[in-house]
Amino acid sequence: MKTKYIINAKILDPSQNLNEVGGVIINEKGKIKAVGKEVNKSNIPSNSEVIDIKKNILIPGIVDMKTFVGEPGFEYKENFRTLSQAALAGGVTSVVSMPNTKPVIDNVSMVDFIIRRARDKAKLNIFPCASLTKNMDGTSMTEFGLLSDKGIIGFTDVSKTIQNTNVMSRIMDYASDLGVLILQHAEDYELTKNGQINEGEISTRLGLTGIPNIAEKIIIERDLSLLEEHKCRYHINQISSQKSLEVIEKNKNNGKKFSVGVSINNLSLNENDIGDFKTFLKLSPPLRSENDRLSLIDGINKNLINVIVSDHKPEDEESKRLPFAQAASGAIGVETLLPLSLELYHNGSIKLQKLVETLTINPSKILKINKGTLKKDSDADICIFDLNKPWVLNVNELKSKSKNSAIENRKLQGKVLMTFLNGELVFGQK
């Protein structure tokens, strides 16, 4: 690979507080050699590979902290190849994969399989999680130390919450000793079992069992209380309500160190969008009220929420086109994470620099990986997008194997033009 010069770019890199027109030099090893306004037409050697991106936005490759791959066991929903295609089309160059495969990723042999499979089939940086408990049963801890040594980035039971306080205490104790990352889904089972959508007027009108937002708050309060005793690396995968945010603000103001994520779905949609039983909008956590949605946006602006995730969960049509109570939860989103996030910029809710921060350097810091940055000598993972390009989402044009998007036919503004992975152009055209 020869040296590449990307010029005439509006560069945004929150890891360096960089916001200027300039360029990026990518060396023959796929690393960033230089970035900024000093990289321009005037200092490029003749006969070099030059890519003029015409004042479009250039940011570090996006890091998505919550995606479901499907391998092994659910290849009919998604696989490493289709996930890679979808992610790169959305400017996502690194993903954290969930362990709720079949079988569950809870032992060394499964970790070896996933890492080999990802290496062979994925054109993407895959950072796998293992389950917190064996077979995600909520009782028997997995081997944190052994699995971490094999390449596991963090531990989660995905949409299953550790309900037993004693088990959670032991998990946090071990995590503290070993320095591993715990990712918790906050939802009290007894309050949410059989629940379908947010508890309130709409759930009553539709005759669906509601999921109260206090169920999320209770688990967050419990875990943050345990964090006083066991100061481990702790991350709340996704929050959805104002009540949870109040608890988070109080604890962060008291000096506790933990991180918080939110799904782009909960930032862009609310319970009203479900209309008359739109099963493609059945999600976990559920879509909440408009007040909750606005509170979550405020939480990002106040640095209470650190990360925006796609919560990419492919499901086949047969499992979604069912009566609402029987339909599977989840929606695809890795390809539309950035364009949907840009809505929050265009409507004046969140500054562009802040959005890019939640999608790049913040998840990288939480995961302790050298991604989400354009610093010298870092991997040249780059996303280039047209900030203002209007388009309408056609699910049949999406790269994911499953088409269960929550935003079908939505008018969007902002589209990915090119994605580079280790300096190679892997999506788009020069």
Closest to 154 in 3D by CA, of 63, 79, 237, 262: 237
The DSSP string of 76-89 is TT--HHHHHHHHHH
CB 92 within 8 A of CB 65: no
Closest to 256 in 3D by CA, of 244, 248, 264: 248
Q: Name beta bridge partners: 57.
A: 10, 385
336 vs 344: CA distance, rounded Å: 13
In a 13 Å sphere around the CA of 353, the CA atoms on its Cβ side amount to 11
Assign 3-class secondary structure to 154-186.
Answer: EECCCCCCCCCHHHHHHHHHHHHHHCCEEEECC
Give Cβ neighbours of residue 304 (< 8 Å, ≥ 6 apart): 245, 248, 249, 252, 260
In the numeric block, the tokens 């300039």 are attached to 22
111 vs 107: CA distance, rounded Å: 6
CB 23 within 8 A of CB 374: no
Q: Which two tokens stand for residue 26?
A: 């990518």
Q: Quick one: CA torsion of 372, 171, 331, 191, rounded to 10 degrees? A: -140
Q: Which two tokens stand for residue 379?
A: 């991997």
Give, to the nearest 10 degrees, the angle between helix 290-301 and helix 352-359. 90
402 vs 393: CA distance, rounded Å: 15
Catalytic site residue 377?
no
304 vs 308: CA distance, rounded Å: 12
Out of 64, 311, 379, 381, pick the active-site residue. 311
CB 382 within 8 A of CB 374: yes
Residues belonging to the active site: 311
